[in-house]
Amino acid sequence: MESALIKVFLPTVLAFIVGVLITPIITHYLYKYRVWKKKAGKGNGYGGGGTPIFDELHKEKDTNTPRMGGLVIICATILTVVAFSLLGALLPNGYFGEIDFLSRSQTWLPLVALLIGAVVGFIDDLFIVIDRGGHFAGGLSLTMRLGVVTATALFSGWWFYDKLEVSSVSLLGFTPVDIGIWFIPFYVFVALCIYMSSVIDGLDGLSGGVFMFIFIAYAGIAYHQTQFDLAALCAAIVGGILAFLWFNIPPARFYMTETGIMALTMCLTIIVFMTDTLGGGEGVSLLPIIGILLVITVGVNAIQIISKKLWNKKVFLVAPLHHHFEALGWPAYKVTMRYWILGFMAAVIGMILAVTF
């Protein structure tokens, strides 16, 4: 049990240290090549039309703060995984052999999703930064990004169904429901919902803090279910996020943007399902509780878009919800801190329910 605890906690520490050490290098190049938007604001929102309130709130931020800050999280996580794996390979019968958490059964699939999301997100950010006009002037289109998420989710869902023989989904406190081949489209639906919540990345420290608590919760759940490799991976991601937050708290040195948020959401989807019936747990049904802030964010966006489309009226001053609070006059740091508090409480409640049921 002690070695299992070390296996989970040590990656957090190492990933944080690695992230802090590599950030000056990453920051140097982000500023050297002016990796930020050339024009502030969104221009057009998901619901169509302009975004004047958002553009006014962020007119002085978008054009002098680099994007691609998610590289800190991705690099810190991958370097930590590689370090533990190499030490485990060199000393398989020793201490490091026990704490190596790179495994085909638990961590390969979420790591692949993390890398795919990071690469596609990086390409999206790159097009936004270059902004030479043409088809990719505003980055990859939403349709393209959703296509990548859908394709990856289809493969992952098929892998769970065909290779891992998973066809059921948990219901908190009840017997898992076997949905057969419909497990694959359900998996894709959940993946798309999680990715759409990436719009929570909009204030200094906001998305990093929210996702940090979500990954902490799933690290705890995986550990409770003796999925120690998966728990260690979640812990390594938490360490990377902590390093990112060290430099992202107001005033942010850089933004996470699609490079980080796409990687985290795609990786989270797999972790959620791995801690479900495959791990003998309730990973999927706990997601709306642990990720309540993501659910609210997507819900508010949906309400705003539907209202504007059908009645040409806005329910909120601006969406997502955190920008609505900004428009009401809340300082950005107050919104962020309160989201962190709610995220922490949601994570604690989720882990309590995981142990209870």
- Could you tell me the pTM of the whole model? 0.94
Residues 249-303 pLDDT 10s: 888 999 999 999 999 999 999 999 999 999 999 999 999 999 999 999 999 999 9
How far apart, in whole angstroms, are the C-alpha atoms of residue 200 and residue 207?
6
pLDDT for the residue numbered 146 = 96
Does residue 132 surpass a pLDDT of 80?
no
| pLDDT for position 92 | 81
Taking CB atoms within 8 Å and a gap of at least 24, the contacts of 304-313 are: 304/47, 305/46, 305/47, 308/47, 308/48, 308/49, 309/47, 309/48
pLDDT at 202: 86
pLDDT in tens, 237-251: 999 999 999 999 888
For the stretch 209-229, pLDDT in tens is 999 999 999 999 999 999 999
The separation between CA 343 and the C-alpha centre of its own chain, rounded to angstroms, equals: 13
Token duo for residue 223: 């550990």
The dihedral region occupied by 37, where left means phi > 0, alpha psi between -120 and 50, and beta the remainder, is beta
Per-residue pLDDT averaged across 335-353, rounded?
97
Task: For residue 51, give Cα distances in angstroms to 22, 48, 54, 142, 167.
Answer: 36, 9, 6, 17, 42
Could you tell me how far CA 345 lies from the centroid of its own chain? 18
Extents of the domains making up the chain: 2-356
For residue 100, give the DSSP letter.
-
Helices (H) and strands (E) in the chain, counts: 14, 2
Average pLDDT, the chain: 91
